[in-house]
Amino acid sequence: MSEETLVRSYHPSDLAEIQKIHEENKLDYRFPNLDSPLFAVNKVLLADGKVRASYAMRMVAEVNLWLSREAWTDAEGKWLAIKALDREATGAASDLGLDGITCFLPPGYERFGSRISGKNGLGFTKDRPGWLGYSKHAGVRDNESNNF
């Protein structure tokens, strides 16, 4: 890196340079609205006075579902319970201004993935085919597990 390198917070005047970088990289997604309050963190790297990189973090809600395996209702009743919870929680997320909801399924839950994304499902779609998703923790962490 250049000796004249600086990392600072994003300014709206950086937008055109960041859009140009996005276009040059030929990424297969639409450029987001960086002025959205959902971009809670947005940093730029300046080298020789020019924006050379941007690193933005958009807030997205992650679904966590806990469903009793006890025989309190049949499979269809449990599906209806999940749909009711999803409807209320999605509405609450929207009311907060959130526009993205993510769901991670562990191995063995492929059938449930088909259910939440299929006809009469919950509206989920598989994320960016061919892309791999990664996560990391940014705050205080439970040292007893790898869970977030």
SS3 32: coil
Q: What is the pLDDT along the chain (148 residues), one digit of tens a residue?
A: 656 899 999 999 999 999 999 999 988 888 999 989 999 999 999 999 999 999 999 999 999 999 999 999 999 999 999 999 999 999 999 999 898 999 999 899 989 999 999 889 999 988 877 787 788 878 766 665 555 5
Tell me if 148 sits within 8 A of 136, measured CB to CB: no
Give the Cα separation of 92 and 97 in Å (integer). 9
Terminal Cα-to-Cα distance of the chain (whole angstroms):
33
